[in-house]
Chain A
């Protein structure tokens, strides 16, 4: 079955450490997204990519970096510059753009819960 796989499910980061969250999809979707979820704040967009080798900042990109070297993969690195990284991170993908959004709009991964220790 096609879908999105996020790993790890739980991640612990020490102060000053960079960590990378994995997101892989086998849906042949062009677009991929990273969201951060904090209690009571809904989903906030970190970065998105509409095509391989291209990505754009979302609303809260500071302290994060991404790459899109392959269509299937969109890893997110949480750098030491991100002062409050403890949150739930969701990756999503979609096949269309704007009014061409198809079907389910987004397909989501199961998320990674990052905690600073």
Chain B
């Protein structure tokens, strides 16, 4: 069964450093998403991406965050200057665009620990 894959599974970084989280969405999918979950809290939407541009973003997704689809297969989330409060699990997700296939599928996540 096709799946969304994410790397790294866990990353520890120092405050102020840049981090790039990578995702390979399911191959025929056209909509891409990033969510995050701070330990013990709800899963929160960050951003959606379609046709090489951001289609929707939340208040969390400020100027420190950016997304990119550099090569037609990877989808990345960059945090420019990490803060302690960016420590969370980050989930990538994707879905196709069809009347029969509208389900969003999630990856297993990347744990980011900012120290």
Whether chains A and B associate is no
Identify the B interface with A (CB < 8 A). none
